[in-house]
Chains A and B, each alone.
Chain A
Amino acid sequence: MNAPLRRSGVVILVLFGLLFANLNWIQFYKADEYRTHEYNSRVTVAEYETPRGVIEAGGTALAQNKTTDDELKYLRTYPEGKIYAPVLGYKPVIGGATGIESAENDFLSGASDKLFGDRLSSMFTGDNPGGGNVVLSLSTKAQEVAWKQMTNNQRGVTKGAAVAIDPSTGAVQAMVSMPSYDPNPLVSHDTEAAAKAYQKLANDDDDPLINRATGATLPPGSVFKVIVSAAALQNGYKTSSEIEAGSSYKEGGATIRNSEEEVCPGSQVTLKEALTESCNTGFARLGVALGADKVKDTAKAFGFEDDTLKVGDLDSKTGLTVAASKTGDIANPDGSTDTAALAQSSLGQRDVRMTPMQGALMAATVANGGRQMRPYLVQKLLGPDRRTIYTAEAEKLRDPISSDVAGDLQDMMVSVVENGTGKRAQINGFTVGGKTGTAQNAEGADPHGWFIGFAFDSSGKAVSAVCVMLENVPGGHASAEAARIAGLIMKAAAGQGGD
C-alpha cells in the first residue's frame, strides 16, 4: 500500500504547487493591477487616513477637509462652491483630480519631495500631519467681483470667462469660467452619487466642467488688431502713420466692411485712430500690406501656437494646461498666402482662435513694457505646519515687443478706452487701456464679446491686465458688456471698490 500512498503524496504536492503558482500570479504578477483596481477601495482608504492640504487665497480656505465618521476619514469640501471650481478643480474619491487639486496633488497629499523632511519626521513622531498647503495668487475680491459681474451680466449671457493678471509679476488675480459647477457633490464619499453628479455635468451642453479661461479657444475678433498693430509698429509704422482704410475693402473674394457706417469712412486713417475706432478695412489692408508671416510671427511672439504653457506653480511648472491659441494657416493649397484669409485673419476672424488667458497675457505684456511674465496661480507652498516652503518668484516668459512698441501700444489702447470703443472699461482714478472685440462665429449666432485691457494707478504702476470673454452676446455691441466687467475686475484687483 505504500506505493499508492506515496503517489497520493505526490498528488498533494502537485496541488499545493498549483496553489503556490497561483498565489505568485496574484500577489506578484497581478499585484499592481489589483492594488490599483477600480473595485479596490483600500488605496483610497489609506489616502484618506491623513488630511489633504488646504488650498487658500487671501486668507480664505477654498478647499479644505471635514472629518467624518465613515471609513474615509476626511471629506474634501469647497466652501466657495462654483466661484473657484474651474481653478481648484476637485479631488474625487474614485478617479483622478482636476485643476490645482491635480497639479499640486503630490504636495497636497504629502507625497511631494518638498515634504520629504516632514514625512521623515512623522516616521519618528508617529503622527502624520498630512499634506502641504497651497496658497493661490488669486485676489478673493477680484475673483468675487469677476464671478458676480460675469454671472449677473446685463445681457443674460450664460457662457464666458474672465482672467486678470498682475502685469509685472504674472500672478493671476482672478480666473472665472461660467457656467461653473459645485465641486462638492463630485467628491462625495458616496461614489455612486458622485458618479451621477459627474455624469449630469458631463452631459450638460454648456460644458460647465471646462475651464473656459484656459481651455476655450474662440475667434478673438478685433482684439487681434493689437497683434497686427504690434506687427506694424515693429515694422516701421508709427502710431501717427496713415494707413489705408475706407468703408469697404475687397480682397481675394472676401469683402471687409466696418461695423458701422461712421467708422473710418475716409481713405486714410492713422494707426492710432484705426485701433481706437476698430477700423476693419484699415487693419485688413494693414495685415495684407505686412504679409502673413509678420502677422503670424508677431502672434507667435505673444504666445500664439504655444501648447506647452501651464498656469500654476512656477517651480514645478505644473498647473492648468492652457490650450494653444492659433492664427490658422492663411495659405492657399499651393503654399502661397491666401490674401482673403489674411485680410479676415487680421480682424481676428477666419481661423484665428484665442483663449481668454492669451488675451490677458497680451494686455499684460503691453502694460509691462513688452515683457511677458509667466502667469502663475500658486503664490506659496506651505508645509503642514505652515512653514513656507516655496514662494513664487516672477519669471519672464517672453519678450514679444520692445518697450518702445509697448509704449506706443499703451498709448493706442488708452485711446481706445478714452475715446473709442472701450469707453465702458473706464475706472475712476486709473488710466485704463484696452481693446474690444466682437467676433462673429457660427452663421446666425450672436457674436462673442471680448475685451482685453490694463489699468495703471495714479502713480503709473500697472496694477492689472484683464481679458473678459462672453459667448454669444445678444443685443449688439457685444464687447461693451465685456469692457464694463473688465473695468470692475481691474478696479477690484487694484484693491478698490466692492463691485
Chain B
Amino acid sequence: MTAPAVPAPPPASTGEMSRIPTGWKTRRNAELGLLAFAMTIVAVFGATVEAHQFDEIRMTSWIPAALVGILFLGLHVVVRYTAPFADPVLLPAVALINGIGVGFLRRLDLARAIAQKQPEPGIFAGTGGRQLAWTLASLILAAILLLVIRDHKVVSRYAYTLGLIGIVLVMIPAVLPSSISEVNGAKLWIRFGSFSIQPGEFAKIALVSFFAYYLVRKREVLSLASRRFLGIDFPRGRDLGPVVTVWLLSLLVLVFEKDLGTALLYFGLFVVTLYVATERASWLIIGLVLFFGGVYLAYLLGASIGGPFANFYDRAEVWLDPFSRANYERESGSSYQLVQGLLGLGTGGLFGAGPGAGSPGKVPEVRTDFIFAGLGEEIGLFGLTALLVLYLLIVERGLRAALAVHDSFGKLVAGGLAFTLGLQVFVILGGITGLIPLTGQTTPFLSAGGSSLMANWLLVAMLLRISDAARQPVAGLGRERSGPKKAPVQLHGAMTEVIKP
C-alpha cells in the first residue's frame, strides 16, 4: 500500500512556515523531469519498433514520440499555472501509458503496411495517427477542464444536471437503432459514418459527481436513519431512492446494450461510493452478494433458457476452459480470441520478443480490447508488470488525493474515480488473462479509441484538480488563487443537512 494514511502535512500548520508559498514545494519540476523520463521511454519504444520492423532506425522514428512529448508538455504547462500543487506523478504516469499506446498502435499500422506492401501511413494516419490526434483532443479537453473548473466543489452545483446527463449518455445507444449504435454485438456507440463515439465513457465522471453530491448530502441520514434487518442496517428507501434509481437505470440500459463489463463498472462505482460515504462495510457485503448472485443467476438462465443470457453463458463456458477444442472451434463466441491472447502473452514470456518483434496481429481486436495481450507479447512479464505498477500508481495517487482533500464531495469524487479506473483495469486485464470472464472494455489510456481516451483524461484532470486542492497549503490561496473569487468551501463539507429521524 503506497498511499500513506497521513496527507501531506501542510507546513503552514507551524507558525514559522506560515509565510508560504515561498518555501512550499509545488513539485512541478519533478513532474517535468518525470515527464521527460516517460517520453524517453516512449521514444526508445518507437525506435525499437522501427529497428525490428525495418531493420533500421530512421530519423523519422522520433517524430511521433516528440509530438506526444510536446502535447504532454503543453498540459504540463497548463497544470503549472492552473493546478500548481497537483500530484506530480499522475500526469507523467498517464502520459507514459498514453505514449506507449500511441507507439504500439503505430507499430501495428507499420506491420500491416509492410505486410500489405503499402506505403507507411503518415504521422496522423492509421490507428496510431488517429490515436495521436485523439490524444491532442483529450489533452485540450483536460486543459479546458483545469482552466474552467478552478475548484472541484463547483461541480457539485450541477450534480443533478450531471446525473441526468450521465443517464442520457448511457441511454442514447440503447434507444438508437442497432445500425448506428452496435459494434461487435455491443450497443454502446453513436456512429456517424467512420466517426463514432461511446457516450457511456463520459457518463462515468458525470455519474460519480452525482453520486458523490447526493451521498454527501444524505450521508448522515444514510448512516443513521436505518432499519436493522438481519443484523444489517438498511437505509430508508426514500433516502436512497434517487441513487438506486440512477444505478438501476444505467444497469438496465447496459443489459440492453449487452455490455456486462460496463455494467460491472457502474455497479462497483455505486457500491464503493456508497461504502465510502456511509463507512458501513455492510454495503460491500450486500453489493458483492447481489453481484455474484446476479452473475450466477445469469449463468443459470443462460444454461437453461438462453435468450439474452446465452451470450453470457457462452462467455462463462469459454472462460472455464478456453483451450478445449469445442470452445475453441465453436461458431459464435468461441475462445479463439482469448486463446490467441494467452498464447501471445505466453510467447512473450518474461522479457518479451521486444517492441516490434512479436506477432500481435494474430490476436483479434488487438487494437482495442486485447491491446494488453498484444503488448505483452513484445514487452513480456517485466514490461506488463511495469504497466500494472503504473496503473496502480495512478489509482493510488487518486486515492491519496481523496484521502488528503478536506471536503467530502472531493473525497467521494476522487475516490470513486480512482477506484473505477482501477476496477476497469482489473476487469479488462482479468478478462484477457482468463482470471475472470471476458467482457469488452477498453484498457484506459492504451486502447485505440477517442471516447475512452478523452473520458479518462477528463478523469485525470479531475484527479489533478482535486489533488491540487488536497496538497495546497491551507492558509495560502497563493498567487494563482488571488482575486475575489470566493469558493463555496463549506457547502459540501462536514456541514451537511442532518435530518434527525
Q: Which residues of A contact B (CB under 8 A)?
A: 1-6, 8-13, 15-16, 18-20, 22-24, 26-28, 30-35, 37, 39-43, 45, 126
CA gap between A468 and B362 in the complex, in Å: 50
Closest 5 CB pairs of A and B: A34-B346, A27-B381, A12-B422, A40-B343, A31-B349
Q: Which residues of B contact A (CB under 8 A)?
A: 1, 3, 5, 55, 272, 275-277, 279, 281, 323, 328, 339-340, 342-350, 358-359, 362, 376-377, 380-381, 384-385, 388, 391-392, 395-396, 399, 402-403, 408, 411-412, 415, 418-419, 422-423, 425-426, 429-430, 433-435
Considering residues A15, A18, A24, which has the most beta carbons from chain B within 10 angstroms of its beta carbon? A15
CA gap between A20 and B346 in the complex, in Å: 14
CB pairs A–B below 8 angstroms (17 shown): A1-B276, A1-B277, A2-B403, A4-B276, A5-B403, A8-B272, A12-B426, A15-B423, A16-B426, A19-B430, A22-B434, A23-B345, A39-B339, A41-B362, A42-B347, A42-B377, A126-B55
CA gap between A251 and B392 in the complex, in Å: 90
Do B433 and A5 touch (CB < 8 A)? Answer: no
Residues of chain A contacted by B391 (CB below 8 angstroms): 16
Total A-B residue contacts, Cβ distance less than 8 Å: 141
- Measured CB to CB, the nearest residue on chain A to B412 is A1
Residues of chain A contacted by B430 (CB below 8 angstroms): 15, 18-19, 22
CA gap between A11 and B435 in the complex, in Å: 16
Answer whether A12 and B347 are a contact pair too, CB < 8 Å, given A4-B275, A20-B388: no
Do B349 and A35 touch (CB < 8 A)? Answer: yes
Residues of chain A contacted by B396 (CB below 8 angstroms): 9, 12-13
Shortest Cβ distance from B16 into chain A, in angstroms? Answer: 28
Considering residues A5, A15, A41, A45, which has the most beta carbons from chain B within 10 angstroms of its beta carbon? A5
Do B344 and A5 touch (CB < 8 A)? Answer: no
Answer whether A6 and B5 are a contact pair too, CB < 8 Å, given A19-B433, A27-B376, A42-B359: yes
Answer whether A27 and B408 are a contact pair too, CB < 8 Å, given A6-B403, A19-B430: no
Residues of chain A contacted by B339 (CB below 8 angstroms): 39
CA gap between A30 and B348 in the complex, in Å: 11
15 more A-B contacts (CB under 8 A) besides A23-B388, A34-B345? Answer: A2-B403, A4-B275, A6-B1, A8-B272, A8-B399, A8-B415, A19-B425, A19-B426, A27-B345, A27-B384, A31-B347, A34-B343, A40-B346, A40-B347, A42-B343
CA gap between A24 and B380 in the complex, in Å: 10
Q: Specify which of B349, B385, B392, B411 is in contact with A5 (CB 8 Å cutoff).
A: B411
Residues of chain B contacted by A23 (CB below 8 angstroms): 345, 376, 381, 384-385, 388, 433
Do B279 and A15 touch (CB < 8 A)? Answer: no
CA gap between A45 and B433 in the complex, in Å: 23
CA gap between A33 and B358 in the complex, in Å: 17
Do A1 and B376 touch (CB < 8 A)? Answer: no
Do A9 and B411 touch (CB < 8 A)? Answer: no
Do A27 and B348 touch (CB < 8 A)? Answer: yes
CA gap between A116 and B358 in the complex, in Å: 24
CA gap between A84 and B250 in the complex, in Å: 69
Do A3 and B279 touch (CB < 8 A)? Answer: yes
Residues of chain B contacted by A45 (CB below 8 angstroms): 359
CA gap between A3 and B411 in the complex, in Å: 12
